[in-house]
Amino acid sequence: MEIQEKIKLAKENIWQAIKDYKAHTYQTEILDDITGTFVDTLAEDSTYAKQNLRDLFRKSPVWNEELDALVINGTRTHNPNYYRVYELAEEILTPIRMDADDETNRKIAKAISFFTRPKEEDLKESIAAIQALAPDAYAPKKKYSRVFKALCDALKISDDTAGSDFQRLYAMFADEISSRKIPFKLFVSLNPAHFLTMSNPKEDKRDDMLTSCHSFNDKDSDYTCGCSGYARDNYTFIVFTATNPDVPETLNNRKNSRQIFAYKPGNGLLLQSRLYDANGGTCGAQEDSKLYRDLIQREISELEGAVNYWRTVDYYGNHLCDIDADFGFGGYKDWTFKNFNPKLSICSDHKEDFVPFTIGKSGLCICCGDEISKGLYCNNCTDDKRAVCEQCGESSDDLYGVWNENGQLTYVCSDCRSKYYTCCDECENYFPDGTMTEVHGGSRVCHQCLDDHYTQCPHCEEYHRDTNMTCVNDYGAEREVCDTCRDEHYEECKICVEYFRKEEMRDGLCPACLAKVECEAA
């Protein structure tokens, strides 16, 4: 499908979603304000932004072009990961292999291949190896997990003590090697309509269901612009289930669960944000969340021809990387909260070369389509109730955009801007006074510009421009110091042209170069 056809389809999907969203709610006044300008802008922005993800997902046989989504069900993406099966089998059988002779080890290796390469045309040797090691283990229609357990029993490596390492590893082996049907359809969507309706409508006439601060008809939430903000970025996709997936309306107004995932094709870094279900946003570990992640990892691995082996860690407090939101993003950043159980996964094929990325974009005003970072209306499209300074609450003809402590664009009067905000000397945007940092020379900069352009010198403890910093050798440790402290405390070696502590230098040479010169002279 050509890009213009895709944009046209996205517009149709958004308008249909708005109609479905209004169908059962008493609270429709915000939805009535949605204009064609908003829909057209969102459809075009989202279609272009998600194109690389779309190109990846289109390789899948479960891709649905009309829905702009993968529809996962059945066993296709939940077949065994044979690389993982091999790892678990090796880990379980390693103790016996360490003391076994060469012939026994050869038979064990052949036996393992029975479980890890079951599609080979000739498995006779593998079966013969199992029968030699454990005569009663194999039978033609016996479950693979039971064959493996009988093999372990025969090799006297089984430990059925509750909580033993063997029990833990065998449970993982048995779970991985078994194909399992999933009793639901999982939608993995790039469709802007599904982002707008990620949470069901407030004030629904039917009964309680999945609603949140991202419900698109919420009059009081500042985070609703996050729906269009997610739809406009390059890497997020929404994963959800619906009450009745065979009734199209329920995809837009009757979601049972949903999560935001983020992935940059070819990068191997997968973010899984908070799981929402019919009871609201959940906390802690959930089996559903683990299953969804497993299905997504399998799908991505298959589409990219990678080994389906991922290292998964808690996002909060991880030492691998941070996933930042675009500066204008106004949605709720679920993935940054520990108790929401967000996860970060690294594919084994990219454990050395993955790079962090930024997700979320500014949202769009539902009237004029301009970018916003709060609510659903820009300042020019708000009613009189909203056209007030958000600091002091007073009405004003002239409001100025500033960034609050939550990183959201808000509007304040001139007096409040002067009292509570400071202009960053780098980006010239206004930020709360308490968030600014004074750098060398007296300029004041925001956190983002500080991170992007400045480094703190460990000697004078002032922040200097990166271009005015020099890498030095400080008693064997590499440090970045400012030019002034460099000249005061360090000296450049005449041979290697690196800077060392002055007290380490002799005759203009560092210890290593001096030793080399003395050695050559001797």
Same domain, yes or no, for 59 and 8?
Answer: yes
* Domain enclosing residue 94, as ranges: 82-177
Tokens of 175: 């779970």
Buried b (16+ CB within 10 A) or exposed e, 269-306: bbbbbbbbbeeebbeeeeeebeebbbbbbbbbbbbbeb
Is 370 a domain residue? no
Q: Is 436 found in the same domain as 349?
A: no
In 264-304 the beta strands, taken as DSSP E runs, fall at 269-272, 276-277, 280-281
Q: Which tokens hold the place of 179?
A: 């194909």
Nearest to 509 by CA among 495, 521, 519: 495
Q: Which of 359, 374, 404 is the last residue of a domain?
A: 359
The distance of Cα 222 from the centroid of its chain, to the nearest Å, equals 23
Res 386: pLDDT: 47
Question: How high is the pLDDT of residue 15?
Answer: 96
Is residue 377 assigned to a domain?
no
In a domain, 372, yes or no: no
**Pick from 426, 24, 70: which is nearest to 206 by CA?**
24
Counting Cα atoms < 13 Å in the Cβ hemisphere of 403 gives 22
Same domain for 88 and 37: no
Contacts of 518 (CB under 8 A, 6+ apart): none
Q: Which of 177, 207, 233 is the last residue of a domain?
A: 177
Signed CA dihedral, 140, 141, 142, 148: sign only: positive
Neighbouring-strand partners of residue 74: 182
pLDDT in tens, the chain (522 residues): 799 999 999 999 999 999 999 998 989 999 999 999 999 999 999 999 999 999 999 999 999 999 999 999 854 445 677 888 999 999 999 999 988 999 999 999 999 999 887 666 668 889 999 999 999 999 988 888 899 999 999 999 999 887 788 988 988 888 788 766 677 899 999 999 999 999 999 988 877 678 899 999 998 899 999 999 999 999 999 999 999 999 999 999 999 999 999 999 999 999 999 999 877 677 755 778 888 998 899 899 889 988 778 889 999 888 889 999 998 999 999 999 988 999 999 998 898 999 999 999 999 999 999 999 999 999 888 744 446 788 888 877 778 888 888 777 788 899 999 999 999 998 889 999 999 999 999 999 998 899 889 999 999 999 999 999 999 999 888 999 999 999 999 999 999 999 999 999 999 999 999 998 888 887
Query: How far is Cα 368 from Cα 36, in angstroms, rounded to an integer?
Result: 9
- With 0-12 / 13-18 / 19 or more C-beta atoms within 10 angstroms meaning exposed / middle / buried, residue 224 is buried
Which pLDDT score is estimated for 303?
A: 93
The pLDDT, as a whole number, for residue 364 is 97
In this structure, are 147 and 105 located in the same domain?
A: yes
The secondary element (H helix, E strand) that includes residue 51 is: helix 51-57
Pair 43, 134 in one domain = no
Same domain? For 139 and 160 the reply is: yes
Same domain, 187 and 287: yes
Note whether residue 189 is domain-resident: yes
Query: What pLDDT is attached to residue 384?
Result: 44
In a domain, 366, yes or no: no
- Domain-embedded: residue 380: no
Quick one: tokens of 225? Answer: 């612009």
Query: Hey, what are 9's tokens?
Result: 């389809």
Q: Which of 156, 177, 198 is the last residue of a domain?
A: 177
205 plus 302 within the same structural domain = yes
Number of domains present in the structure of the chain: 4
The answer to whether residues 52 and 126 belong to one domain is: no
pLDDT at 81: 79
What six digits make up the tokens of 230?
């997610």
